[in-house]
């Protein structure tokens, strides 16, 4: 069965590796992520944004889909189902319908309101054994239509949210959602080190994991990062493989558009990328 993300993230923090958190966008994505982490024998977090959940039919559909696929596919590695960048209401709904982990992203509120709302979600989620992620400092780029210039989180604010009892904390350290510009300055390790010290061993989350050079991810892991979020990279892999298949055009002439055929190249590409990332983040074989 699906599990809370707390234990796997804490084990990763202690073991100096990172749990990959893959965003799912539909049935096929979910199957490929599960197949990939099972092949890599890696614990993982399958996460969904509110927009993707809406597209898939709602939070309860997503919860039932992931839970049933986990069982139907005979998956044996620990998997958590996590709401990504949740609103206050969205987090409460996911707690109700069977998610095993939620993020309440209050980074766009003023700090006091972020703390107050985070506190409420933490209490509610923990009363049901559900893990919680909160955020301090907006993550750059656009996620689910919410744009942020991206800022460096304030270590004192991170300490305050860590002390609320959150299970892992997302803190802006120059990371960006989506593709990184060629002139990107890289992660701010000085700020990450200050935050790592301020939160006193609380596992940190690296959002915008797609496109960050592995050596930077590895360095971030030595400074407290234990969960790395990936969405864009899987989307790019899927799109490239599908485009190649369509451009080849071989199977499509007159044989109809069987999704089992048309989506297969993209699915295989996602599965392979999931295995590669589990190995790169050091979670492979840690089930």
Please measure the distance between the N-terminal and C-terminal CA atoms of the chain and give it in whole angstroms.
14
Q: Which stretch binds ligand G3H (CB under 6 A): 56-64, 158-166, 202-210, 245-253?
A: 202-210
Task: Tell me if 232 contacts ligand G3H by CB under 6 A.
Answer: yes
Q: Quick one: what does residue 107 bind among ligand G3H, Zn ion, none, with the CB cut-off 5 to 8 Å set by partner type?
A: none
d(CA 90, CA 176): 23
Count the Cβ atoms, other than its own, within 10 Å of residue 231: 26
Distances in whole angstroms, Cα of residue 112 to Cα of each of 108, 164, 224: 11, 12, 25
Q: Which two tokens stand for residue 200?
A: 């006193």
Rounded Cα distance between 136 and 39, Å, is 34
Report in angstroms how near the CB of residue 162 gets to ligand G3H at its nearest: 20
Distance CA(47)–CA(30), nearest Å, equals 10
Of the candidates 271, 277, 179, 180, the one whose C-alpha atom is nearest the C-alpha of residue 228 is 277
| Torsion angles phi and psi, residue 183, rounded to 5 | -95, 20
Q: Which is nearer to Zn ion, 38 or 49 (CB)?
A: 49
Query: What residues between 110 and 169 interact with ligand G3H by CB under 6 A?
Result: 143
**Between 196 and 233, CB nearer to ligand G3H:** 233
Q: Which is nearer to Zn ion, 184 or 272 (CB)?
A: 184
Binding of Zn ion at residue 227 (CB under 5 A)? no
**Position 283 contacts ligand G3H (CB under 6 A):** no
Tell me the window of 72-80, 122-130, 185-193, 205-213 that interacts with Zn ion (CB under 5 A).
Answer: 205-213
Residue 23, binding choice from Zn ion, ligand G3H, none, Cβ under 5 to 8 Å by partner class: ligand G3H
Out of Zn ion, ligand G3H, none, which partner does residue 98 contact, by CB within 5 to 8 A per kind? none
CA distances, 109 to each of 86, 136, 187 (Å): 13, 10, 24
- Return the residue of 117, 207, 227, 286 that touches Zn ion, per CB under 5 A: 207
8 Å CB contact between 273 and 36: yes
Cβ of residue 240: shortest distance to ligand G3H, in angstroms? 15
**CB of 46 within 8 A of CB of 80?**
yes
The set of catalytic residues is 84
Listed ranges 92-100, 159-167, 204-212, 241-249: which one lies at the site for ligand G3H (CB under 6 A): 204-212
CB contact at 8 A, 192 and 224:
yes
Binds ligand G3H (CB under 6 A): choice among 30, 114, 226, 231: 231
Query: Residues in the site for ligand G3H, rule: CB under 6 A?
Result: 23, 84-85, 143, 177-178, 207-210, 229-233
Query: Residues in the site for Zn ion, rule: CB under 5 A?
Result: 207
């Amino acid at each position: 069965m699906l599990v809370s993300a707390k234990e796997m993230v804490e084990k990763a923090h202690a073991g100096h590796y990172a749990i990959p958190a893959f965003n799912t966008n539909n049935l096929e994505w979910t199957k490929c992520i599960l197949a990939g982490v099972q092949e890599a024998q890696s614990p993982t977090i399958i996460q969904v944004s509110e927009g993707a959940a809406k597209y898939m039919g709602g939070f309860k559909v997503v919860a039932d889909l992931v839970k049933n696929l986990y069982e139907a596919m005979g998956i044996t590695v620990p998997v958590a189902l996590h709401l990504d960048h949740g609103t206050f209401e969205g987090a409460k709904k996911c707690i109700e319908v069977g998610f095993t982990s939620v993020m309440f992203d209050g980074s766009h509120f003023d700090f006091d309101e972020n703390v107050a709302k985070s506190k409420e979600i933490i209490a509610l989620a923990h009363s049901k054994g559900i893990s919680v992620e909160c955020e301090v400092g907006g993550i750059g780029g656009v996620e689910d239509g919410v744009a942020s210039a991206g800022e460096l989180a304030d270590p004192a604010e991170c300490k305050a949210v860590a002390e609320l009892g959150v299970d892992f904390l997302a803190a802006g350290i120059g990371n960006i959602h989506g593709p990184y510009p060629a002139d990107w300055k890289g992660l701010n390790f000085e700020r990450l080190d200050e935050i790592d010290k301020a939160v006193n061993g609380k596992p940190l989350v690296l959002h915008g994991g797609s496109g960050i050079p592995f050596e930077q991810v590895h360095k971030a892991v030595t400074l407290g990062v234990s969960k790395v979020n990936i969405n864009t990279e899987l989307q790019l892999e899927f799109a490239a493989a599908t485009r190649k298949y369509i451009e080849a055009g071989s199977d499509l002439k007159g044989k109809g558009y069987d999704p089992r055929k048309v989506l297969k190249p993209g699915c295989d590409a996602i599965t392979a990328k999931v295995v590669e990332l589990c190995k790169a983040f050091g979670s492979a074989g840690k089930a």
